[in-house]
Amino acid sequence: MTQSNIDTHENKIHFVKKNNSTVNKKWSKKVISDLFNMPFNDLIFMAHKVHRENFDPNAVQLSTLLSIKTGGCSEDCGYCPQSARYSTDVENTPILSVEEVIQSAKAAKNAGASRFCMGAAWRKPKQKDLDLVKEMVVSVKALGLETCATLGMLNHDQAEQLKSAGLDYYNHNLDTSPEFYGDIISTRTYQDRLDTLENVRNADIHVCCGGIVGLGESLDDRIGLISQLANMEEPPESVPINLLTQVEGTPLMGVEPFDHLDFIRTISVARITMPNSFVRLSAGREAMDDGIQSLAFFAGANSIFYGEELLTTGNPNIEKDQLLFKRLNLKTI
């Protein structure tokens, strides 16, 4: 669902509906730029209004992310400590067993998570690895959890196999705008990412796709990222907005820290342009104080990664999150 008209002076968005369904019209970069450049209070007010019209404003969906295969990746993503090209503290470890994944999924469910995401540091999965992941998907679904995976690039047949196993969501982020993408990664093209997303969508798996801010990108690049996401034929059901976590040894270590209020602006614009999507407050939460996270929830973030580690980087501990939810009277789903 996207906009048909927006008046930023009156802080109103008008959606056109036809036959009880929303017409998918394009969000122009000009309109997205106007949103980013609105006065901060007007923007988050508008975002909260859109959020309240489409979701329970006091509910947050909890997902847990487990690295099932860590390190040794052949890609050169400039932000990622799992790349074999960089000297970081992350070690190349073998894929976990199905039994280890089941135990982690049980712990996640007991802690309140409703979705369990399995991530592997691969350019693309080999068939023997995919067969093991399919076993994991079946086992995790049997626990009553939604399943998600992020395994790198997928072809049509691989996506269909994961669908047959019962996978609910597949994560494959665009990272940034098409124009800035080549500054961040050279081993996989933007079109490669779009092709994987098309294969996932065609297999009738829900799409989880977002990006990262704080990479050293310009405002135009953030506008470009939102434009790519919001103008998909069907926007992602889940949109993770990540704040770069700088890791020693990666090329992006030392970039200028990103303004947290600009992060809130990005959350707000994502919510306005993708009103029916879950907007996930993802990597980087450990660096945010409770006030910034609270603003993010008000601006339309209604999903988080829950647990003390995201693949290889830190995340607020469960007790801290639970205390914040209690202070904000947020319920979890």
From the list 77, 115, 201, 285, the catalytic residue is: 77
H, E, C per residue of 268-306: HHHHHHCCCCEEEECCCHHHCCHHHHHHHHHCCEEEEEC
The candidate with the shortest Cα–Cα distance to 143, out of 191, 182, 110, is 110
Helix or strand run (H / E) with residue 6 = strand 5-7
Question: Is 280 an annotated catalytic residue?
Answer: yes
From the list 117, 188, 222, 265, the catalytic residue is: 117
Structure tokens at 219: 């405002």
From the list 80, 193, 209, 222, the catalytic residue is: 80
Question: Is 117 an annotated catalytic residue?
Answer: yes
User: Contact at 8 Å (CB) between 179 and 143?
Assistant: no
The candidate with the shortest Cα–Cα distance to 116, out of 151, 80, 144, is 144
What is the rounded radius of gyration, in angstroms, for the C-alpha atoms of the chain?
19
User: Contact at 8 Å (CB) between 239 and 229?
Assistant: yes
The count of C-alpha atoms lying within 13 angstroms of the C-alpha of 196, restricted to the half-sphere facing its C-beta, is 24
How far is CA 29 from each of CA 36, 217, 274, rounded to the nearest angstrom? 10, 16, 14
Tokens 């949103």 belong to which residue? 35
From the list 85, 193, 208, 265, the catalytic residue is: 208
Question: Is 209 an annotated catalytic residue?
Answer: no
From the list 73, 188, 222, 265, the catalytic residue is: 73
From the list 115, 193, 201, 280, the catalytic residue is: 280
- Annotated active-site positions, please? 73, 77, 80, 117, 148, 208, 280
